[in-house]
Structure 1
């Protein structure tokens, strides 16, 4: 019989989960991690690209593409889910830019980023453990996949 090989994503999730055992902290993360992800996409969205027809969104698209490649290599099902998440983030940025203007999108992104991080640190105060990314920055990418994996498990989907 062959032993089941643990995938890197499973090791990352096990480590991340060990820093997120408190139920309140987990609930905060389910809201704050996607909010931080969107706010980072929106902040990068606002960086202009001079000398092209596309004035915004180019850098965000590139960042989302490279992050998506990371997720897809770790787990194809999670990669596809993160592709949908990134598509939603990009569409939301485009919609808000069109409706509110770029300065308002930037202000909203900054506000969401700050508030979501405050929530994260409150959650970790209740947890009594430091955030995972303080030990390894790759956990900044693992957090969104961990939240998505929770959704997959609730739906009975494999990742």
Structure 2
């Protein structure tokens, strides 16, 4: 990046987030746990039925995923498109589990994944010796998944 150009907001978020995630073990835990938490949150919201006679599941999750995607897309179009694919996958997985095993299985699976993944996150931060970024600003709950995806982009040689 050119030294005279100001940093983009996504670069500032990633720089700050990376500062709290220097330990290799913590980074590896995050690469697994952050997507797991993302899916589990989508799944938990998926389980909330919509009101009305046409009560369906997944509507609230679709809305939440749409607004999250807008956040990502505004920060970086390439990452926004990648996060769209990730969120689409999360939604498809929720629907598949709901159809195949039922809503209670989706709910209990999401709760279990959520708890285990957060325990892993806090173990990673114990090794790191730093508190999680979201404790300073809740926006980092959204930055985490994009940060993990940006690691994949860098490995593939893609710009974000």
Please give the range of the TM-score, normalised by the shorter of the 2 chains: over 0.9
Question: 1:3, CA displacement in angstroms?
Answer: 1.8
Q: Tell me, what secondary structure is at the counterpart of 2:50?
A: coil
Runs of 4+ with deviation above 3 angstroms: none
TM-score, normalised relative to structure 1: 0.97
1:124 is matched with which residue? 125
Asked whether 1:73 is paired with 2:58, we answer: no
Alignment of 1:55-70 (within 5 A): 55-70=56-71
RMSD: 1.2
The 3 A distance-change label for structure 1 pair 2 and 123 is: closer
Question: 1:54, CA displacement in angstroms?
Answer: 5.2
Question: 1:50, CA displacement in angstroms?
Answer: 2.5
2:146 is matched with which residue? 145
Asked whether 1:28 is paired with 2:34, we answer: no
Rounded to whole Å, the distance in 2 between the matches of 1:118 and 1:68 is 26
Rounded to whole Å, the distance in 2 between the matches of 1:123 and 1:37 is 17
Q: Tell me, what secondary structure is at the counterpart of 1:98?
A: helix
The 3 A distance-change label for structure 1 pair 62 and 108 is: same
1:104 is matched with which residue? 105
Q: What whole-Å deviation, never above 9, does each CA across 1:120-157 have from its counterpart, x for those lacking one?
A: 00000000000000000000000000000000000000
1:90 is matched with which residue? 91
TM-score, normalised relative to structure 2: 0.97
Rounded to whole Å, the distance in 2 between the matches of 1:54 and 1:21 is 45
Asked whether 1:8 is paired with 2:9, we answer: yes
Asked whether 1:47 is paired with 2:58, we answer: no
Question: 1:2, CA displacement in angstroms?
Answer: 8.5
Question: 1:51, CA displacement in angstroms?
Answer: 1.4
